[in-house]
Structure 1
Amino acid sequence: MSTYPSKYLGIGLAAAVLGVALAPSAHAQEMGAPLSAIDWLERAMSAPLPQHSTAPPPPPPDDTLITLPAPGFEEIASAPLGRSELETTGLFTAERVGLPRALWGPTPTSEIVAAIVSLPADTMPAAARLSLRLLMAEFAPPLQNIPETRGALLLARVDKLVELGALEQAGQLIAAAPETSAALNARAFDIALLLGEEDRACAHMSGQIAAQHSHSAQIFCMARRGDWQSAFASLQVGRALGLLDENEAALLTRFLEEEEEEGQITPPAQITPLGWRIMEALGDPVTTASLPVAYAHADLRGTSGWRSQLDAAERLTRASVLEPNRLLGLYTQRRAAASGGLWERVRIIQHLERALQQRNGTAIGTALTEAWPLFAAVELEVAFAQMKGEALAKIPLSGAASEILWKMLLLSQENAALADELAPDTDLGRFIMALAKGAEVLPVSSASMAGAIHAAFSEPDVPQQVQDQLDAGALGLTLLGALSQIADGAAGDLHAATLGLQRLRALGLDPVARQIAIELLLLERRG
């Protein structure tokens, strides 16, 4: 069974204080999604799913669209794929990822869950997109899916999506499940709170949460309904019976009683989503920049300042869970308020926009050569390429600007023909274009990343242990291992890069392997 990342995403308890904050009071104002990290919710998160649920499944969303983190962010209509086992729940078929439906094969559920928990977040963009697709796709349940672990794989997938910041995708995965459970409801409640949908969360959880040690959630929903007397009484009961953590009880008490104390509040040593939300409501907010990426969604509610929205959008775009064009919209919302850092990216994007509108080739080339290192410094090259690659492809460029455009076209997978024309006449340029065109890669002499990549494409045989996994049908475990090795390769482990690419190719994912190889060469993430 997966371990829910409650230390920073146990949101159910956060509900309590947010509900208070949102109810009419001298301190309250309309605010967005709180989070939670409390014992009752953590126990609910990790509790096994019941064999049968008395609560009806939520109705499937009508004409719901999800956005996959793939180049171009194509919109894909999603709907539950028929009533099935919990573990088969997905938003699109396995074939859409280029993988067989029987991906998990004979691998025990516990091993798959452990591998998903260990799936790295810091990796190449193409590998991040593959990870997200893997977590969202429909696969047959593992052959060893015993009753004791029923539902554990779905929960692990949801938890990892939340950890990676893909809250909307995680919520849609829960909605697509063929039945509800306490654990799934708790996660859906948390996600709704993170996205600022408190009313819907309380309405959906009404009548379902009372028996799940959800004292703080009950307080939250009472306050959301304006029942302050019951919320206060419930808080007193919770304190008397030890149902609330000491720190959270103190924060809730101060907020509900509207106590006036001088000086700033000291945040807890390990701030929880609930603590973060109370601190914000009491006028001593803790910036989300220092918290896990899922918190960044709170700054996109429209209640935060422009700078906070920009920071959050950059984080989520870097995690491959936000469309680059949404970030572009924020970049061009108004004039830069200052200089340096983030504001330089705002300034140069706006300058590039103006140059493109005027079709001023000289100004475009100058802006592009200035913009590229600014976005590379914060690992947003792929997002920048997706924002501007298509428009720049229509402009004749030369020199350094032409080479940057070549990189952008490769990273965004746009206009392969033009990328071939712009490719530099160097060994590395020819090597990369061979990868892009699906051709045989030529050998290189140095023990560099290019050498590691050449080894992966010239020596397709995987280690015997991996081959044994493949022969046994444990394809999912092989894929998860490959994704971990790609992350190690991005950090500079050349041998891991070779092994990870070999595994992907052995699984029939040669196009993805080639794109990852291109990114390993062009993005220079290695430390």
Structure 2
Amino acid sequence: MRHAAALCLMLAAGAVQAQEETSRPLSAIDWLSESVNTPDPLSSSSSSTDRPARAGEDPIADSANIPEVTVQPLGSASPDPVGVLAPELTGLPRSLWAGSEVETVAALIAAERIETLPALRDLMRLLLLAEADAPRGAGPEAALFLARIDKLLDLGALDPAWEMLDAAKPDRPALFRRYFDVALLTSREAQACRLMDEMPELAPTLDARIFCLANQGDWPAAALTLNTAQALGDVSARDEALLTRFLDPEVFEGLPPLPVPDRPTPLDFRLREGIGEALPTTDMPRAFAHADLREINGWKARLEAAERLARVGAVDDAVLLDLYTLRSPAASGSVWDRAAAIQALDTALAEEDAEEVADALPEAWAAMEEARTEVPFARLFADRLRSIELPERAEELATRIGLLSDIYEEIALGMEPETPQAELLKATALGQAAETVPPDEMAAAVRAAFAGAEPPAPLMQMVEEDRLGEAILRAVAIFDNGIAGDPEAVTEALAFLRAVGLEDTARRAALQLLLLDRRP
């Protein structure tokens, strides 16, 4: 296969990239709160300037400074195998990562794109949540587990991240930092503060201690903690200004707002919210959008947050629909128009008025294309659309929507194709090769994958070596290259997914490629 040589080069380059990326902390996220002071045993390493003792020579200290001491629970094991989905649920073997190097897999996870086809993103999320044996080289530093958590945070998938962290017992600084921040963004701060109180060995930072004392209602202790830090000179001017206002905001009423940091953390976010200087989340990492879903926020902010999260599958589809239909739009434009369009369709479907549905459907679909939430919309409405006998003018669009939903195979069985494109869509949904000539190169690439194209040999070799998870990650990256304009990469990635039993993912990804505009 002509593309095989290029694929081998890609795999080799990926390995080099993985090695390069392991030279820096793979699990570091710029916006995590500094919630604990304790040196982190999960990411500690010796200095590159340390000289090892020569044979027969006693170790020699090169400094009179007291060395940094790290602590770790006795008998602690790597949390890398921890997952919230058992192999029986994922359909993936427990040996998913067993033959891979932990650093390579962690680097590949960190490099995976968020903005990809929903089917590929769903597959990546399945890998992140899967319970599986640890890869080679796994240890208490938890490189794979932290890479998985950090990718979930990057996705904005905070509830699964919370479940994973809870399952792993967040009793170490690297784990607790993530646990604490997820708690802050999902209104679970009381649980995180209780755990911090129960485990003083976590050595919480001044900001975290004061926030938690106030959260638990002990404002005098919070004030005493800050006053003591001020007397000892243990608090920066920036933190002192923020914490002083947090503890007594009325004293500073009428003063100009505090400067906004370049990279606010979730703790910054909540402290500023407490002093009435809430930060907009629009330009902040996606995970912060969860804070806007709370009922204390306005409807528009909640709608925009739900759309942003639904776009990457980080919130349940029902949350999006509930917010779209919460009340009558207060204005026009952007999100208000989308809410109005969804409400019109929802009402027409509830009244089983086929003509009204046919009239409302195009506008609702255009609204979802604008928001890039077509797949959540399809999952919400495809079955309801199928239950109504629609006028001919709406049938083609309803079919396209159905092919993007969970019932795509049932929709395909009812199709009577009249064009090569429709024939290809039906055949793809049924896992078959289309009999007609595809209309373009990308369509031909999809057809080839379902006509028996051979999967890439390097990826299949990985599968034989108990490196299935690594091979899947690489296949997803190859597919992403295909979306950017390489039809042969699409064929190879789809052929691989089918070869390893991920038929449903292959069909969904192919249909989404053909029906959605996701070109970079």
Give the shorter-chain TM-score range: 0.7 to 0.9
1:255 is aligned to: 246
Segment drifting more, 450-459 vs 308-317: 450-459
Taking the TM superposition and a 5 Å limit, the aligned residue runs for 1:316-465 are 316-414=309-407, 416-442=409-435, 444=437, 448-458=441-451, 460-465=453-458
CA deviations 1:337-391 (Å, max 9, x no partner) are 1112111111112111221232221111010122111111211111111111111
The corresponding residue for 1:7 is 30
Structure 1 residues 210 and 250 mapped into 2: Cα distance closer, same or farther (>3 Å)?
A: farther
Name the CA shift for 1:42/1:492 in 2 (closer, same or farther; >3 Å). Answer: farther
Q: Are 1:192 and 2:187 matched, yes or no? A: no
Kindly tell me the number of residue pairs found equivalent between the two proteins.
471
Deviation at 1:47, TM superposition (A): 5.3
Shift of 1:51: 5.9
Structure 1 counterpart of 2:218: 227
Structure 1 residues 291, 400: closer, same or farther in 2, change over 3 A? farther
Q: What is the CA deviation profile of residues 467-507 of structure 1, one whole-angstrom value per residue up to 9, with x for unaligned ones?
A: 44334332111111122233343444434433332332232
1:494 pairs, out of 477, 487, 494, with: 487
Greater shift, 438-447 or 106-115, is seen at: 438-447
Give the Cα–Cα distance (whole angstroms) in 2 for the partners of residues 312 and 301 of structure 1. 10
Instruction: Kindly state the Cα deviation for residue 509 of structure 1 after the two structures are TM-superposed.
Output: 1.3
Change (3 A) 1:434 1:445: closer
State the percentage of identical aligned residues: 35
Match of 1:288 in 2: 281
Q: Partners in 2 of 1:371 and 1:42 — Cα distance?
A: 52
Displacement after TM superposition at 1:122 (Å): 0.7
In the TM superposition, what whole-angstrom CA distance separates every residue of 1:125-175 from its partner, at most 9, and x where no partner exists? 111111111111111111x2343x552222221222122111111111122
| 1:243 Cα offset (Å) | 5.6
* TM-score with structure 2 setting the length: 0.82
Aligned pairs (5 A) from 1:80-95? 86-95=79-88
Task: Give 3-state SS (helix, strand or coil) of 1:460's partner.
Answer: coil
Q: Distance in 2 between matches of 1:472 and 1:245?
A: 52
Q: Quick one: higher RCO (CA 8 Å, sep 6+), 1 or 2?
A: 1
Q: Is the 8 A contact 1:12 1:189 kept in 2?
A: no
Whether contact under 8 Å (1:3, 1:46) holds in the other structure is no
Change (3 A) 1:469 1:380: same
CA distance in 2, matches of 1:327, 1:462: 38
1:111 has 2:134 as partner = no
Distance 2:211 2:272 in 1: 16
Change (3 A) 1:443 1:475: farther
Is the contact made by 1:456 and 1:501 (CA closer than 8 Å) also made in structure 2?
yes
* Conserved 8 A contact 1:44-1:212: no
How far off is 1:409 after superposition? Answer: 1.4
Deviation per CA, 1:58-103: give whole Å up to 9, x if none: xxxxxxxxxxxxxxxxxxxxxxxxxx96222122222432322111
Q: Distance in 2 between matches of 1:486 and 1:208?
A: 45
Query: Does the CA-based 8 Å contact 1:310-1:331 persist in structure 2?
Result: yes
* Cα distance in structure 1, aligned partners of 2:458 and 2:446: 21
Gaps (5+ residues) in structure 1? 14-38, 56-83
Q: Which residue of 2 aligns with 1:512?
A: 505
Q: Which residue of 1 aligns with 2:269?
A: 276
Q: How far has the Cα of 1:392 moved from its partner?
A: 1.1
Residue of structure 1 in register with 2:142 after alignment: 151
Tell whether the 8 Å contact from 1:11 to 1:274 is kept in structure 2 after alignment.
yes
Q: Deviations over 1:438-488 (max 9, x none)?
A: 222447466532122234344633444334433433211111112223334
Partner of 1:24: none
CA distance in structure 2 between the partners assigned to 1:356 and 1:380 by the alignment: 20
Match of 2:67 in 1: none
Tell me, in whole angstroms, the C-alpha distance in 2 between the residues paired with 1:272 and 1:183. Answer: 15
Question: Which letter does structure 1 place at the counterpart of 2:260?
Answer: P
Does residue 98 of structure 1 match 2:91? yes
Change in 2 beyond 3 A, CA 1:431/1:470: same
Q: 2:80 touches 2:138 (CA, 8 Å); kept in 1?
A: no
| Partner Cα distance (1:186, 1:167) in 2 | 14
Q: Which residue of 1 aligns with 2:14?
A: none
Deviations 1:226-283 (A, max 9, x none): 3334323433554676765653443223433543453344322333333333433333
1:162-201 alignment to 2 at 5 Å? 162-177=153-168, 180-201=171-192
Partners of 1:441 and 1:92 lie apart in 2 by 35
Query: Could you state the TM-score of these two structures normalised by the residue count of structure 1?
Result: 0.81
Aligned to 2:207: 216
Letter in structure 2 aligned against 1:145: G
Contact 1:6 1:42 in 2 (8 A): no
**Amino acid corresponding to residue 170 of structure 1 in structure 2:** A
Shift of the alpha carbon at 1:194? 1.4
Q: 1:435, CA displacement in angstroms?
A: 1.1
Alpha-carbon distance in structure 2 between the residues aligned to 1:114 and 1:238: 40
Contact 1:103 1:475 in 2 (8 A): yes
Per-residue Cα deviation, 1:183-225 (whole angstroms, up to 9, x for no partner):
3233222222211122221112213245435232112222223
Q: Is the Cα contact below 8 Å between 1:45 and 1:186 reproduced in 2?
A: no
Q: In the alignment, what sits opposite 1:206? A: 197
Alpha-carbon deviations, 1:12-69, whole Å to 9, x = none?
64xxxxxxxxxxxxxxxxxxxxxxxxx84895874599764599xxxxxxxxxxxxxx
Query: Which residue identity lines up with residue 165 of structure 1 in the other structure?
Result: G
Would the aligned equivalents of 1:267 and 1:275 in 2 still touch at CA under 8 Å?
no
- Aligned mates of 1:299, 1:44 — CA distance in 2: 34
Distance in 2 separating the partners of 1:225 and 1:50: 28
Unmatched segments (≥5 aa) in structure 2: 1-21, 46-69
In structure 2, relative to structure 1, the CA distance for the partners of 1:517 and 1:491 (3 Å cut) is same
For 1:136, the equivalent position in structure 2 comes to 129
Worse-matched range after superposition: 471-480 or 109-118: 471-480
Question: Helix, strand or coil: the match of 1:412?
Answer: coil
Judge conservation of contact 1:53–1:180 (CA < 8 Å) in 2: no
